[in-house]
C-alpha cells in the first residue's frame, strides 16, 4: 500500500480456531471489524473468514512491541 487506509483481509485456514486466532492477532494491532464465525465452501477443505482493518490509526508502542516483548516486572 502506498498509504494507510482501509483493508479487506480474507483468511483461509484449516479450522475455525486458527482463523479466529489470526483475526485476533490483527485486532490486537489495528482497529478491526471482526467476524464472529467462519464460513465453509461446499466440497472444499478448511474455513474462510473476512475481516476489515483500518490502517489509518497510529500504532501505540505496546502494539508495536506486543505483549510477549514487554519487559517482565520483578515479583516480591
- Decide if pLDDT at 62 tops 60: no
In a domain, 35, yes or no: yes
**Model confidence over 7-33: pLDDT tens digits?**
999 999 999 999 999 999 999 888 888
What's the CA gap between 38 and 58, in Å, rounded? 28
Task: State the residue range of the domain holding 50.
Answer: 24-58
- Decide if pLDDT at 51 tops 60: yes
In a domain, 46, yes or no: yes
What pLDDT, on the 0 to 100 scale, is given for residue 31?
Answer: 87
In a domain, 14, yes or no: no
In a domain, 6, yes or no: no
In a domain, 53, yes or no: yes
Q: State the total domains in the chain.
A: 1
In a domain, 44, yes or no: yes
Q: Is the pTM of this model over 0.75?
A: no
In a domain, 49, yes or no: yes
Mean residue pLDDT of the chain comes to 80
What's the CA gap between 49 and 75, in Å, rounded? 41
Is the Cβ–Cβ distance between 32 and 8 less than 8 Å? no
Amino acid at each position: 500500500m502506498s498509504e494507510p487506509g482501509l483493508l479487506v483481509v480474507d483468511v483461509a485456514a484449516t479450522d475455525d480456531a486458527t482463523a479466529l486466532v489470526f483475526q485476533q492477532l490483527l485486532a490486537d494491532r489495528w482497529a478491526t471489524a471482526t467476524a464472529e464465525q467462519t464460513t465453509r465452501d461446499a466440497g472444499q477443505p478448511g474455513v474462510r473468514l473476512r475481516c476489515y482493518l483500518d490502517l489509518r490509526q497510529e500504532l501505540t508502542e505496546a502494539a508495536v512491541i506486543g505483549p510477549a516483548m514487554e519487559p517482565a516486572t520483578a515479583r516480591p
